[in-house]
Structure 1
Amino acid sequence: MDASVTADRSLADETYRSLLDEILSAQLAGGAVVQERRLAVRLGVSRSPMRDALGRLEGQGLLVRNAKGVLTVKVITLADYLNSIAMRLLVEPSAAAQACSTISTETIDALYGMANAIEADPDPYPAVIWAFDDALHNGIAAASGNPFMADTIVQMRRYTTIFERQRKLAQRKPGLADHQGILRALSERDADAARAAMALHLERVRQNVLATY
């Protein structure tokens, strides 16, 4: 592949990741109008990689066209959130069970280290909590060995993440005990326990959100 084409592809990927992070962290809030030129200037890229990145995000449903055809950040509704959690409940417990036989001891130890650091900190930064949550759930998805299952989990988690962060629903240490239970099951290579722990965690998340409405 031509070096210039490779560089363009890399820049488009980097732009995509930057915008995705801003959407997931609610820096680009639901309903916000996406102005291609302004975003390109702010991120210091040309309009070509910006257009490519926006097209990918629109294809993934994170950007949508309003009634006037203007590109905006998708507003994640409570119904979207609950439907995403329902899908995760169908898939993620099975992923946790399958990951028991494949996830590395090093990965489990690293996740334990992150969890222990959060537990020891009386007021951890939200970014640290989210990083651990992403590492745990995405790590399990990848370790499931099923790329279709992993892709579904990643896509559904994007919707639940946006909803929770935009509405600041996270507690100081959300789901930490549940996450530790999942880690114990993974470290013991107990598939049934991992399946049950993940299902319990997701159901508690669902109930906690419903309690705020």
Structure 2
Amino acid sequence: MPLSQHAYQHLKRRILNGDIPADTILSERTLAESAGLSRTPLRSAITRLEREGVVGRMSNGALMVRSVSVDHLLEIVALRQILEGTAAARAAGFGPTPALLQVRQESLAALQGPCQSFDEFWDMDSRFHDAVAEASRLAALPAILSGQRAIARRCTITRQHDHFDAQLHEHLAVIDAIAARDPDAARAAMAVHFAHVKSRFLAWLGR
């Protein structure tokens, strides 16, 4: 793997995981030392993250991790509700894929097991949404959703939840509607899921 790609993945992973919080001023020297890299591949990685809007430069030239506002997060939820509702309906026309059925088994097992960490649930949540997108046979959709999810993950509000049973039940409702080959039910179940996602975010803000 090229050093610039390694630097990009290392830095972006630390930002997405919250190891480098939003509004943090970045030091090229400190980042290079933490990644064990020279500044040349690091600068290439930073340039790429600037293009993606993950980091930005202040008026004095300093680098900073961009924050994601609640308004932006809610816009993403609204956009994904439309896109993924359509995807779920299309997937129901084709029927469930092996990947989607595997996610169903993982979800059932998770409901019977111990509480998951945020990162564990996020990975399972990614597999669910990716599997629905792929089952819809909309080739461009997985990449679009991946980009939107990466932005949402940088909003600190997404990390405030520590109990995920409700989301897992919502996922199962979508999968079961797809398995029943019921497009209307699949679209409706996905709409309910995102409505609840929004309500959970707003409830946290109201605390």
The TM-score by the shorter chain falls in which range? 0.7 to 0.9
Displacement of 1:103 in angstroms is 7.4
Which amino acid in the other structure matches residue 69 of structure 1? G
Provide closer, same or farther for how the CA distance between residues 151 and 170 of structure 1 changes in structure 2, counting only shifts above 3 A. same
Structure 2 unaligned runs (5+)? none
Secondary structure at the aligned position of 2:159 is classed as coil
Q: Which range moved further: 136-145 or 113-122?
A: 136-145
> Which SS does the other structure have where 2:64 is aligned?
strand
Q: Matches of 1:53 and 1:103 in 2, distance apart? A: 40
Contact 1:108 1:187 in 2 (8 A): no
Match for residue 185 of structure 2 among 189, 193, 200: 193
Equivalents in 1 of 2:158, 2:131: separation in Å?
A: 25
- The TM-score, its normalising length taken from structure 1, stands at 0.84
Q: Take 2:92 and 2:5, find their aligned partners in 1: how far apart are those partners?
A: 32
Q: Structure 1 residues 211, 166: closer, same or farther in 2, change over 3 A?
A: closer
1:69/1:100 CA distance change after superposition, 3 Å: farther
Separation in 2, partners of 1:57, 1:32: 14
- Between the two proteins, the alignment pairs up a number of residues equal to 204
1:116 pairs with one of 108, 111, 124: 108
- What residue identity is the alignment partner of 1:62? V
Residue 153 (str. 1) matches residue 145 (str. 2): yes
| Identity among equivalent pairs (%) | 28
Aligned to 1:110, the other structure's residue is in SS state helix
Which residue matches 2:36? 44
Q: Are the equivalent residues in 1 in contact too, given 2:26–2:63 (CA < 8 A)?
A: yes
SS in 2 for 1:211: helix
Alignment partner of 1:179 is 2:167? no
The Cα offsets for residues 136-183 of structure 1, whole Å up to 9 and x where unpaired, read as 1123234433344333322222222222x5563223115111111112
Partner of 1:59: 51
How far residue 61 of structure 1 moved from its aligned partner, in angstroms, is: 0.9
- Secondary structure of 1:212's counterpart equals helix
Q: Which runs of 5+ in 1 are unaligned?
A: 1-6
Shift of the alpha carbon at 1:16?
1.9
Mean Cα displacement is larger for which, 101-110 or 187-196?
101-110
Asked if the contact 2:54–2:65 (Cα under 8 Å) also holds between the matched residues in 1, the reply is: yes
Distance in 1 between residues matched to 2:137 and 2:5, nearest whole Å: 25
Per the normalisation by structure 2, the TM-score is 0.86
Q: CA deviation at 1:34?
A: 1.9
C-alpha spacing 1:191/1:48, structure 2 compared with 1 (3 Å): farther
CA distance 1:143–1:65, change in 2 (3 Å)? farther
Q: 1:190 to 1:56 in 2, by over 3 A?
A: farther
Residues 1:17 and 2:9 are matched in the alignment: yes
Partner of 2:145, secondary structure, is helix
